[in-house]
Amino acid sequence: MKIVIFGPPGAGKGTQAKRLETVHGLKQLSTGDMLRGEIAAKSELGQQVDAILAAGKLVSDDIMVEMIRKRITHDDCHKGFVLDGFPRTVAQAEALDDMLRSEGTQIDHVLVLTVDEQALFDRIAKRAEETGGARSDDNADVLKDRLNVYNQQTAPILPHYEKAGLVREIDGMQSIDEVSADIDKALSL
Ligand code: AP5
Ligand code: MG
């Protein structure tokens, strides 16, 4: 099963994608985690994208599409995968469609987590406190920019998936366990 988990920053994408991996064996492919890994390793790519993540802007489509292209054919994706943080632009969504189509496959479900904006600020503030500010983009100012980017560049992907009948809306304001239960129901797992 091939899933996209979708929603604004702090909606719970990573939390739920990790659980889908642990409980159902669907590999979590988090582009944010991959980029933070590159930054931590001080690789050439990491040095290139460090300031972009810290500002809440988007890394270029070319880099992101290649990153995912290399990942989705790995053996660890044999049961399927959960794309967490990708696609984030219409161009990325189109590139994803093309790469899956060329393998004779497609996305099965797009899970959209809906969460009130105030709750997003509360969750990110809490995480910044708990992790001692481990993520450079976990503060209210950058979150505002991340939300603007989400609304302007990422949310416009949804009509494309809606037209294809793939969107499953999930109430992300519930507890983590309740969200997980609704996701399992939506996926018939
Ligand atoms: P990315 O890492 O994808 O960050 P994000 O989308 O901004 O979202 P977060 O990871 O902060 O939130 P989440 O939805 O995963 O929620 P989480 O489960 O952590 O991207 C970071 C940056 O990388 C981008 O800004 C961009 O620069 C770059 N990037 C990445 N992908 C890219 C792409 N494709 N193209 C271009 N650039 C790209 O939960 C948040 C908190 O809330 C946690 O503390 C959690 O414990 C808590 N929580 C979760 N669920 C609940 C709940 N139900 N109730 C209460 N608390 C909850
Ligand atoms: Mg995340």
Q: What is the mean pLDDT of residues 60-69?
A: 98
Euclidean distance between CA atoms 109 and 32, whole angstroms: 21
Alpha-carbon dihedral angle through residues 154, 155, 157, 163, given to the nearest 10 degrees:
170
Ligand 1 pocket test, candidate residues 29, 34, 58, most atoms within 8 A of CB: 58
CA-based nearest residue to 186, from 43, 16, 11? 16
Residue 55 has pLDDT above 90, yes or no: yes
Q: How confident is the model at residue 189 (pLDDT cuts 50, 70, 90)?
A: confident
Euclidean distance between CA atoms 84 and 32, whole angstroms: 8
Query: Is 127 one of the annotated active-site residues of the chain?
Result: yes
Euclidean distance between CA atoms 21 and 185, whole angstroms: 16
- 89-139 residue pLDDT tens: 999 999 999 999 999 999 999 999 999 999 999 999 999 999 999 999 999
Q: What is the mean pLDDT of residues 50-56?
A: 98
Instruction: Give the Å distances, CA to CA, from 125 to 7, 17, 58, 63.
Output: 18, 21, 21, 29
Ligand 1 pocket test, candidate residues 63, 68, 123, most atoms within 8 A of CB: 123
Q: What is the mean pLDDT of residues 154-173?
A: 97
Catalytic annotation, pick one of 19, 27, 36, 88: 88
Element (H, E) at 112: strand 109-114
DSSP 26: P
Euclidean distance between CA atoms 11 and 120, whole angstroms: 7
Q: Which pairs from 86-90 meet CB under 8 Å and 24+ separation?
A: 86/4, 86/29, 86/31, 87/4, 87/157, 88/31, 88/58, 88/64, 88/153, 88/154, 88/157, 89/58, 89/61, 89/153, 89/154, 89/157, 90/156, 90/157, 90/160
Ligand 1 closest atom vs CA 16: 18
Ligand 1 closest atom vs CA 174: 53
